[in-house]
Amino acid sequence: MRGYRKISLGISAMLASLSAHADYSWNFPEPVTPMALDTLHVHNKFMLIAMAIFFIVLAIMIYSIFAHRKSKNFKPVTDKAPSTAVEIFWTLIPFAILLLIDFVIMGIPAYHSVIMMENTRDKANMVIKITGSQWRWQYEYMDGDAQGIKFVSNLSTPKEQTDKGFDGKKDENYLLEVDNHLVLPVGAKVRILMTSADVMHNWWVPQFGSSRLAVPGFIRETWVQVEKAGTYRGQCKELCGKGHGYMPVVVDALPVEEYKTWVAAKKEELAKASAGADKEWTKDELVANGKTVYEKNCAVCHQVSGAGLPPAFPALTGSKIANGPIFGADGKYLKDSHLDRVLNGIRVMPSWKALLNDTEIASVITYERNALGNSVGDLLQPAQVKAARQ
Amino acid sequence: MASIDESKVLSAKQQLDVKNQRLVRKLLWMLLGSLLFAFALVPIYNVLCTMTGLNGKTQNSATLLAKAKIDNSRWVNVQFTSSVMSGLGWNFYPKTTSVRVHPGQIETVIFVAKNTTNEVVVGQAIPSVTPGIAAANLKKIECFCFIRQSLKPGEEKAMPLRFFVSPDLPKDVSDMTLSYSFFPAVQLK
Amino acid sequence: MSTTTVAHHDDHAEHPTGIMRWLTTTNHKDIGTMYLTFSLIMFFVGGAMILGIRAELFKPGLQLINPEFFNQLIGVHALIMIFAALMPAATGFANWMIPLQIGAPDMALPRLNNWGFWLLPPSAILLTLPFTLALFGIGDGALATGWTFYPPLSIQGGIGVDFAIFAVHLLGISSVLGSINIIVTVFNMRAPGMTLMKMPMFVWGWLITAFLLIATIPVLAGAVTMLLTDRHFGTHFFDAAGGGDPIMFQHLFWFFGHPEVYILLLPVWGFIPQILETFSRKPMYGYKAQVYSFWAVGVLSVVVWAHHFFTSGMPVPALLYFMYSTMAISLPLAVMFFCWIKTMWKGSMSFETPMLFTVGWIILFGIGGLTGLVLADVAADAQYHNSYFIVAHFHYTLFAGGIMGIMAGTYYWLPKMTGHMYNEKLGKLHFWLTAISFNLTFIPQFFLGLAGMPRRIPDYALQFAEFNMISSIAAFTLGLSQLLFVYNIVTCARGGKKATAQVWEGAQGLEWTLPSPPPYHSFTEQPTVK
C-alpha cells in the first residue's frame, strides 16, 4: 500500500530530523520588543491557568470514569432531582471561579497589555510608513535623517526553489528572504503607519509581537521598539491572493551608529539610481536590465514567459498595450498606453510609479516590448520616463 | 382514535394549522426585521465611525469656523502623507510633511496634485486619520476631499486644506497622521 | 446515495417509491435521513479538499497544487464543512428526533421541510461548480478568498465569488426555513403536559439555534448581497474610493459569523447531556442551569463579534469591551462543563461508542474552549491571529466540538433509526483512531502558530517542516479512519442484530418508547407527559 510506505517514510524522516536538530520551538520565538515580551508573559500565564483548569477537571473526570463504572458494579446514586436552591449553589461555584479568572487573574494583566499595545502617549523617535501591495511591501521613512528613503522589498528566494517540483536543497531562509531589508535603529520607538495599495495585508514579525491590518484607503498604526540588534523575519498574515505566502517581512535592527551609516549609504544609492535616468541607454542594456526587473516584479502574475494567467492576469505576449504606441503626437504618453499602464496601473494592475525608479520602468517596458514573444523594436529611455512623471 | 368525535379531530387539526400559520407569520416578520437590520447597519456603522473616529474616518463635510479657544499649553504634531491609488495618472503629495499646532489653532497646508496624462482625469481623495481617537478631533474647514477634483492634461493644482485640531483631543495624543488616498473617481449611483 | 439510506420495511403508508419518494417526501424521518446522508457525503467532499491541502503541506516547497488552487480549496473546504456538513447533520437530527422527543406526529410544516432540504444539493453544486468550469476554461476556479469573503480581495476575485455568494443565499434560505419549521414545531406540537422546562435538552439547544439563525443569517445574506452589488452593480459599500469601508464587511460578516459557531455547537450541547445520562444511568444534573446557560450563550454570542479582527485596529474602549465580553462566554460554559461532569459523577457508567465519543468530546472541546479564552486577550491575539494557532483552536471547537459530537449522536441514535445495532468493536476502533489522529493533526498546529506560521499559505519556511509533516500524516490517518464510520453506518442500515425499543439500558425520553425503527408515522396519537 502506497499510503503505508508514505507514512513509514514520513516517520523515518521525522526521526532523522529529530536527531539532526532538535530545534523545535514550543512557544513564541524570543521576544525583542517590550510588546512581544509582554505578550509572551501574558501568553505563558494564561496558558498555565488554562492548563491548570484543564488538568484539574480532567483528573476529576478520569477518577469518576474509573471509579463510577458499571463494570465495577458501582451503583448510581439515586438522585432525587436537586432542589433549585442546591442546584443554584453548586452551579455558582464554577461560575464564580471563572468570574475570578476572567476578570481578575486574566483580566487585569490583559487590560495593561492592551493599554501598552495601543500606547501613543510616548513620543515616537521615528515614523515609518508601510504600504502592502500584491505581493510586496513598500517602506518609506517619514522623518528624521532618513526622511525620503523609500524602497520596495521583494521576496528574493530564487524562483526555481519555490517552483513546483523543485527537489534540491533550499536556502536556509527559504521564503523568508527579501532583496531590501527594512532597517531600524536599536532602541528607538518606531511608529509604524500601515496602509495598502490594493487588498488587505497584515504586517507581522512574530518577535515584535505587533501585527496590524493594512487597509486600502485607510491608515492604521502600531509601534515597535527593537531592543536587540539582529535580523528578524515575518510574513504577511492576511490572505491577499495567490502570492500571500510569498511576501515576507525582513527587518534588520542595527545599533544607532551603524544605522546612521546605513542611512547615508542608502541615500547615496538611491541618488545614484535616479541619476541613472539622465544617461542615454542602449537597447541591449535596457533589455538586459529589464529582464531582472520583470522577473522580480511582473512574472508573478504575467509569468516568466509573458503568457499571463487569463482571465485574471492578461498575457503580455501579443498584447495590444505592449505592442501599441506609447507617445501621442504632442509628445505626451497616451492613455492606456504601455507606459500609462505601468506608471499608473488599473484595477488589479498596481501603479508602479511609486515602486520603481525611472531606469527600472524604462528597462522593463523596453524588455516587454522586445522579448516575451514581442518585437516592437522601439526602446524607452529612462529620461523619457522621468519626463513623463512630471 | 375511533372513540373521538370525527368533527372535533378535524377542528383540532384546523386549529393547529391556524396556530402554526400565525407563528410562521410572526417569525417571517422577525426575519424581515433582521434583514432590515442588516442593511440598517450600514448607516449606523458610518454614523458610529464619524462620531467615535472608529476606523480613522473623519467628518466628510466642512466644520463651521469654530470659536474654539486655542489651547496654548500644548502642541500637537500633525503629519501628512499621501497615496496615489492604482489607475490614477497623478502625482500627489503634501508640500509640508508635518506641522506643529496648538489645539484650536487654524492651520492651512497645501497638497500638490498634477495630472501627468494627456486626458482630463477626475479623482477623489479619501482621508483617514490615525490614531483613530484623533480622527473625530480633526476638524476640517476647507478640504479638497469634500468634492471630486478634476485636472486637465498636464495641469498642476495646489490644493489647500484648512483645519484645526479640536481642544477636546485626549491629552495623551501628541502625534497624529492624516493620510489622503487619491482614487480615480468612481461613477456614483 | 441509496446504499446509506435507512430502510423502512415495516411501513405500510401510501407514498411513492424509488426516487420520487425522496423528492416529494414530507415525512420528517425521510427528510432527516436525507439531511444526514447529504451531510455525510459533503463531509467527505470537504475532507478530500483538506487532504489535498495537507498533502501539499507535507513538506516545504510546492509539490502538487498551485497557490491559486490552494486558496480555493481552503475557502471551499470551510464553507462545505460548516454549511453542508455540520449544519445539515444537526438539522437531520432535528428532523428525526425533535418530533420523536416531543411526541409530535411530524414537523409542523412538512412541505417547507422538503423544500428546505432540496435547496441544499443545488447550493453544494453551485459552490463546487467553478472547479469543474475552470477545467473547461471558464472562469478561474472557485472562491479563493477563504470562507470569510473579505473585500477587496473578494471584489477582485473571479466568478467563483459570485457562485459562492449565490450558494450562501440558498444555504441561508434553507437554514432559515428549517429554523422556522423547528420553532413552530417546538412551540405548537409538543405532547400535552410537556412544558418548555420539561423539553429534552436537544430540543432546547435547537430552539435557541433556530432563533440565532433567524437573527443572524439575514445579516450574512445582506453582507454578501452588498458584496455582489459592489462587484457588479456599481455600489461602494466596501470600497474606500466610493466612501465605503472594507472593515464594515468584517463587522457584518462576524456579526453572523460568531453566532454561527454556537449555531453549530448548541444542538450538540443539547444531546451530549442526554447521552451522558443514558450511559451514567442517572438523570442529568442541572437541567435548569444548562437551559439558562444556553440562553446566556445565545445572547452573548451576538455581542462579541469583533474579537475575530482585533488586529484590524479599533479604539481602546472597543478592544476592552470585546475582550471582556468574549471572556464572559466562559461563564455559562463553565456551568455546562460542571453539569456534564456532575452527571457522570457517581453514576454507573459504561462506555459504548456514543459514550466514548462523548467523553472524548468533553476533553477535546474543553481544549477548544480554553484556548478560546486565551485568544480573547487582545495583546496575545496579535500573535495568535491568523496563525496556525487559530486554525488548531477552531478545529478543536468545530471538529472535536462539532463533528465528534455529531458522531456521538450518530452512534447513539443509529440503532433507533435503523432498528439494528452497529458493530461496537468497529465503533470503538473508529473512536480511538479519530481521537488520536485528530490530536496528532492539530496539536502540532498549535506549536506551528506559536512559532509564527501564518495560516492560508501554500508553502512555508524550513523551520516549520517537522510539525507540518506530523500534522499531514495524522490528517491522512484521520481522514481514512472515517471510512470505518461509513462502513459501520452502511452495514448497520442493511442489517445486523435487532435493536430493542429501549436500545440503551439507561435511555430515557419519548423516542425510546417507540419500537426501533419507529414506524413511518409515529405518535399519530400524542402521548401525555406527566
What are the pLDDT digits (tens) for A79-92? 566 677 888 888 88
C122 CA to chain B: closest CA distance, Å? 23
C-alpha cell of residue A87: 442546584
How many CA atoms lie within 13 Å of C219's alpha carbon, on the beta-carbon side?
A: 26
Measured CA to CA in angstroms, residue C90 lies from A358, C32, C209, C211, C238 at distances of: 61, 9, 10, 15, 33
C163-174 residue pLDDT tens? 999 999 999 999
Are residue B159 and residue B142 in the same domain, yes or no?
Answer: yes
Binary contact (C460, A175; C-beta < 8 A): yes
Are residue B7 and residue B79 in the same domain, yes or no?
Answer: no
Residue C315 lies in a domain: yes
Chains touching B (at least 3 CB pairs under 8 A) are A, C
A189 CA to chain B: closest CA distance, Å? 13
Binary contact (C214, B31; C-beta < 8 A): yes
Residue of chain B whose Cα is closest to the Cα of A121 = B172
Structural contact between residues A259 and A272, judged by C-beta atoms closer than 8 angstroms: no
Are residue A250 and residue A130 in the same domain, yes or no?
Answer: yes
pLDDT of residue C7: 42
ipTM score assigned to the predicted complex? 0.88
A324-347 residue pLDDT tens? 888 887 778 888 888 888 988 888
Are residue B113 and residue B161 in the same domain, yes or no?
Answer: yes
B131 CA to chain A: closest CA distance, Å? 7
Tell me how far apart the alpha carbons of residues A354 and B156 are, in angstroms, rounded to a whole number: 19
Residue of chain C whose Cα is closest to the Cα of B131 = C315
Range of the domain at C120: 19-513
Identify the residue whose cell numbers are 516549520: C464
Q: Is the Cβ of A242 closer than 8 Å to some Cβ of chain B?
A: no
B74 CA to chain C: closest CA distance, Å? 23
Structural domains of chain C, count: 1
Hey, of C247, C263, C302, C321, which one would you mutate to test binding to chain B, going by the most B CBs within 10 A of its CB?
C247
A190-240 residue pLDDT tens? 999 999 998 999 999 999 988 899 999 899 989 999 999 999 999 999 999
Residue of chain C whose Cα is closest to the Cα of A15 = C466
Residue C99 predicted with pLDDT over 90: yes
Residue C252 DSSP SS3: helix
User: C159-188 vs C67-79: helix axis angle to the nearest 10?
Assistant: 10
Residue of chain B whose Cα is closest to the Cα of A349 = B86
Binary contact (A219, B130; C-beta < 8 A): yes
C214-255 residue pLDDT tens? 999 999 999 999 999 999 988 889 988 888 889 999 999 999
Range of the domain at B106: 56-184
Tell me how far apart the alpha carbons of residues A295 and A302 are, in angstroms, rounded to a whole number: 9
- Sorting pLDDT into bands at 50, 70 and 90, what band is A375? confident
Are residue B77 and residue B24 in the same domain, yes or no?
Answer: no
Are residue A107 and residue A157 in the same domain, yes or no?
Answer: no
Residue A4 lies in a domain: no
Q: What is the pTM of this model?
A: 0.91
Q: Is the Cβ of A218 closer than 8 Å to some Cβ of chain B?
A: yes
Residue C5 predicted with pLDDT over 50: no
A276 CA to chain B: closest CA distance, Å? 21
List CB contacts (< 8 A) between C349 and chain A.
Answer: 64-65, 68-70, 74
Q: Which residue has the higher pLDDT, C495 or C360?
A: C360
Residue B77 lies in a domain: yes
Q: How many CB pairs under 8 A join B and C?
A: 99
List CB contacts (< 8 A) between B136 and chain C.
Answer: none
C177-196 residue pLDDT tens? 999 999 999 999 999 999 99
Select from A143, A220, A335 the Cβ nearest to the Cβ of B130: A220
Are residue B115 and residue B168 in the same domain, yes or no?
Answer: yes
Residue A138 lies in a domain: yes
Binary contact (C454, A236; C-beta < 8 A): yes
Are residue A257 and residue A292 in the same domain, yes or no?
Answer: no
**DSSP tag of A141:** E
The mean pLDDT value for A168-190 works out to 91
Are residue A223 and residue A242 in the same domain, yes or no?
Answer: yes
- Sorting pLDDT into bands at 50, 70 and 90, what band is B6? low
List CB contacts (< 8 A) between A120 and chain B.
Answer: 131, 172-175
Binary contact (B126, C241; C-beta < 8 A): yes
Residue B189 lies in a domain: no
CATH number for A383: 1.10.760.10
- Span of B31-35, C1-5, C58-62, C403-407 with lowest mean pLDDT: C1-5
| DSSP H/E element including A114 | helix A107-117
Structural domains of chain B, count: 2
Hey, of A115, A120, A384, which one would you mutate to test binding to chain B, going by the most B CBs within 10 A of its CB?
A120
- Span of A23-32, B98-107, C22-31, C85-94 with lowest mean pLDDT: A23-32
Range of the domain at A238: 126-164+172-273
C397-453 residue pLDDT tens? 999 999 999 999 999 999 999 999 999 999 999 999 999 999 999 999 999 999 999
Q: Which residue has the higher pLDDT, C199 or B170?
A: C199
Select from B86, B126, B130 the Cβ nearest to the Cβ of A350: B86
Structural domains of chain A, count: 3
Closest CA to C380 of A206, A228, A251, A24: A206
Residue of chain A whose Cα is closest to the Cα of C445 = A26
List CB contacts (< 8 A) between C237 and chain B.
Answer: 42
- Sorting pLDDT into bands at 50, 70 and 90, what band is A348? confident
Range among A270-274, C480-484, C493-497, C526-530 rated most confident: C480-484
